[in-house]
């Protein structure tokens, strides 16, 4: 089978890196043959609509912020793609359209348009569905979509008063005006404004929301620690078995080759139980051990029309089928995106929970996952808040996040969506399933779900 190289470069920085020089593109993508036959079920292909396929998905190792950085460059045919879309959350002002700056910095043709999207933790989900929309509309045949986050090198602002003074200094026309402005500066003006994982509308940190949500659904500390331990244990098992095949190793200048996620740390319930509450103190149940950690990482997928992919000699991994976005109350239901999006996407696809072979839900917090599962299993919640006659139903755990999740692999905000979709495609291949479902929550009370179908083998 013919294969084609699509070059993508990622630049991940340590805390010493220069934010101003931030540019990145994408990974090395290549196709390979499958070895497992999918189950025989109806296909979700629709007459008159283009089939949109995931050709390949790759990512850097996901790294705990403040640890290791990455740099990788390869060659790329200038006409390989029609469009580039990237998602990110904490943006650097000088590279606000990071997709375009990265594409140019990596040697992509300057004729390839690129834009950046942001939708909190589902930013790369939005990048992928935007790519699918361009292909479905006939605007493009091949789009690179992805996401990136550098929590080790976030932009830190001066205080508002200091910014105002500095802008006034820039406009000052005389020495006297400048000296007067400099003399007005006080020590309080020098205090920096650090970015916070908090809701603008509620001023509440996401961890605090997760703690309240867990309490509302009666999710105990033990349940959260057990789920977190499950995530780390499964991730370690998948890592050791070589199942995390979307990772591309990088030779970091002046450092060793980085080839695996470094946040996977199975421990014991006893050790986890010793940690104190991280947000709601002293009696909260969300801790550092049952929360996703700040992470550096980047991901990319090559999305194409099936016709174009086959013509270029690719063997796609999966079809990208139906998807939905949802939104609800950002205070009391901030992290319930999967509960609302899952039944909607299944309805659009004409499927039931029993039809899904692979589930991949974003694990922001163990308490968030457990609260969603309890909400999905509640007739009262379905009737009261979702207008349903009965509960949504819960994914069987023997199909759920079997290679670990964000709690263990890490969660670079803008990059997680592509990891979820690529993992579904790889699990469908490995396990012989036909349908997979991705679901995720996001800041602002938003959420996303998508149905992925295995490509015929």
Q: What per-residue confidence (pLDDT) applies to 92? A: 77
**Can you tell me the distance from the alpha carbon of 259 to that of 130, in angstroms, rounded to the nearest whole number?**
30
Asked whether residue 214 falls in the same domain as residue 185, the answer is: no
Domain count, the chain: 2
Closest CA to 413 of 296, 249, 264, 329: 296
Cα-only R_g, the chain: 23
pTM: 0.86
For residue 95, tell me if it sits in a domain.
yes
Q: Which two tokens stand for residue 322?
A: 């139906």
3-state helix, strand, coil in the chain (%, to 5): 35, 20, 45
For residue 97, tell me if it sits in a domain.
yes
**Can you tell me the distance from the alpha carbon of 84 to that of 114, in angstroms, rounded to the nearest whole number?**
5
> For residues 448 and 55, is the Cβ–Cβ distance under 8 A?
no
Helix, coil or strand: residue 435: strand
For residue 354, tell me if it sits in a domain.
yes
**Can you tell me the distance from the alpha carbon of 355 to that of 438, in angstroms, rounded to the nearest whole number?**
14
Q: Which two tokens stand for residue 384?
A: 């009261």
**Can you tell me the distance from the alpha carbon of 323 to that of 148, in angstroms, rounded to the nearest whole number?**
22
Question: Residue 381 is inside which H or E element, if any?
Answer: helix 379-385
Asked whether residue 186 falls in the same domain as residue 67, the answer is: no
Asked whether residue 176 falls in the same domain as residue 231, the answer is: no
Q: What per-residue confidence (pLDDT) applies to 320? A: 98
Q: What per-residue confidence (pLDDT) applies to 34? A: 28
Q: What angle do CA 153, 154, 157 make, to 5 degrees?
A: 130
Asked whether residue 238 falls in the same domain as residue 322, the answer is: yes
Asked whether residue 178 falls in the same domain as residue 229, the answer is: no
Asked whether residue 105 falls in the same domain as residue 187, the answer is: no
Asked whether residue 168 falls in the same domain as residue 78, the answer is: no
Asked whether residue 64 falls in the same domain as residue 186, the answer is: no
**Can you tell me the distance from the alpha carbon of 183 to that of 58, in angstroms, rounded to the nearest whole number?**
53
Q: What per-residue confidence (pLDDT) applies to 146? A: 94
Closest CA to 450 of 429, 409, 420: 420
Q: Which two tokens stand for residue 416?
A: 């997680």
Asked whether residue 170 falls in the same domain as residue 140, the answer is: no
For residue 445, tell me if it sits in a domain.
yes
Q: Which residue, 193, 216, 243, sits at the end of a domain?
A: 193
Between 221-240 and 366-376, two packed helices, what is the crossing angle to 10 degrees?
110
CATH number at residue 143: 3.40.47.10
Catalytic (active site) residue 26 = no
Show pLDDT as tens, one digit a residue, over the chain (457 residues).
333 333 433 323 222 233 322 333 333 222 222 233 445 578 999 888 899 999 999 898 888 776 654 233 323 456 778 999 999 998 877 778 999 988 888 778 899 999 999 999 999 999 999 999 999 999 999 999 999 998 777 677 788 888 888 888 889 889 888 888 888 888 888 887 776 667 778 878 899 999 999 999 999 999 999 999 999 999 999 999 999 999 988 766 567 788 999 999 999 999 999 999 999 999 999 999 999 998 888 999 999 999 999 998 889 999 999 999 999 999 999 999 999 999 999 999 999 999 999 999 999 999 999 999 999 999 999 999 999 999 999 999 999 999 999 999 999 999 999 999 999 999 999 999 999 999 999 999 999 999 999 999 8
For residue 20, tell me if it sits in a domain.
no
For residue 25, tell me if it sits in a domain.
no
**Cis (ω within 30 of 0) for the bond into 273?**
no
User: Domain span at residue 104?
Assistant: 52-152+200-454
> For residues 371 and 285, is the Cβ–Cβ distance under 8 A?
no
Out of 26, 121, 140, 418, the active site residue is 121
Out of 26, 140, 418, 441, the active site residue is 441
Asked whether residue 255 falls in the same domain as residue 284, the answer is: yes
Catalytic (active site) residue 121 = yes
Asked whether residue 179 falls in the same domain as residue 285, the answer is: no
Asked whether residue 287 falls in the same domain as residue 350, the answer is: yes
């Amino acid at each position: 089978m013919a294969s084609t190289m699509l070059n993508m470069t990622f630049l991940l920085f340590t805390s010493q890196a220069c934010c101003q020089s931030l540019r990145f593109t994408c990974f090395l993508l290549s196709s390979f043959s499958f070895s497992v036959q999918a189950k025989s079920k109806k296909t979700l292909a629709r007459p008159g609509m283009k089939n949109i396929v995931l050709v390949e998905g790759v990512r850097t190792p996901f790294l705990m912020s403040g640890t290791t950085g990455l740099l990788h460059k390869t060659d790329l045919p200038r006409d390989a793609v029609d469009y580039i879309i990237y998602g990110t959350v904490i943006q650097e002002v000088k590279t606000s359209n990071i997709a375009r700056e990265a594409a140019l910095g990596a040697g992509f043709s300057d004729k390839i348009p690129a834009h950046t999207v942001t939708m909190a933790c589902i930013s790369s989900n939005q990048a992928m569905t935007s790519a699918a929309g361009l292909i479905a509309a006939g605007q493009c045949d091949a789009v690179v979509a992805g996401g990136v986050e550098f929590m080790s090198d976030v932009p830190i602002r001066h205080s508002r008063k200091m910014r105002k003074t500095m802008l006034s200094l820039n406009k000052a026309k005389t020495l006297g005006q400048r000296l007067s402005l400099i003399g007005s500066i006080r020590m309080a003006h020098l205090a920096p404004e650090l970015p916070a994982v908090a809701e603008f509308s509620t001023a509440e940190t996401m961890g605090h929301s997760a703690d309240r949500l867990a309490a509302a659904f009666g999710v105990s500390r033990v349940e959260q620690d057990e789920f977190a331990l499950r995530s780390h244990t499964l991730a370690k098992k998948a890592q050791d078995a070589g199942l995390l095949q979307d990772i591309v190793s990088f030779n970091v200048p002046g450092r060793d080759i980085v080839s695996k996620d470094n946040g996977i740390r199975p421990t014991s319930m006893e050790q986890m139980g010793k940690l104190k509450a991280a947000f709601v103190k002293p009696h909260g149940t969300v801790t550092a051990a049952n929360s996703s950690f700040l992470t550096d990482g980047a991901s990319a997928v090559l999305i194409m029309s099936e016709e174009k992919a086959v013509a270029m000699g690719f063997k796609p991994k999966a079809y990208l089928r139906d998807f939905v976005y949802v939104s609800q109350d950002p205070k009391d239901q901030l992290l319930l995106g999967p509960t609302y999006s899952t039944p909607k996407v299944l309805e659009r696809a004409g499927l039931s929970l029993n039809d899904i072979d692979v589930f991949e839900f974003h694990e922001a917090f163990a308490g968030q996952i457990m609260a969603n599962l309890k909400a999905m299993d509640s007739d009262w919640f379905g009737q009261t808040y979702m207008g349903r006659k009965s509960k949504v139903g819960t994914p069987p755990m023997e199909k759920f996040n079997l290679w670990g999740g964000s709690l263990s692999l890490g969660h670079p905000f803008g990059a997680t969506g592509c990891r979820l979709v690529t993992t579904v495609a790889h699990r469908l291949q490995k396990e012989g399933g036909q349908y997979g479902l991705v679901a995720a929550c996001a800041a602002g009370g938003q959420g996303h779900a998508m149905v992925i179908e295995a490509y015929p083998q």
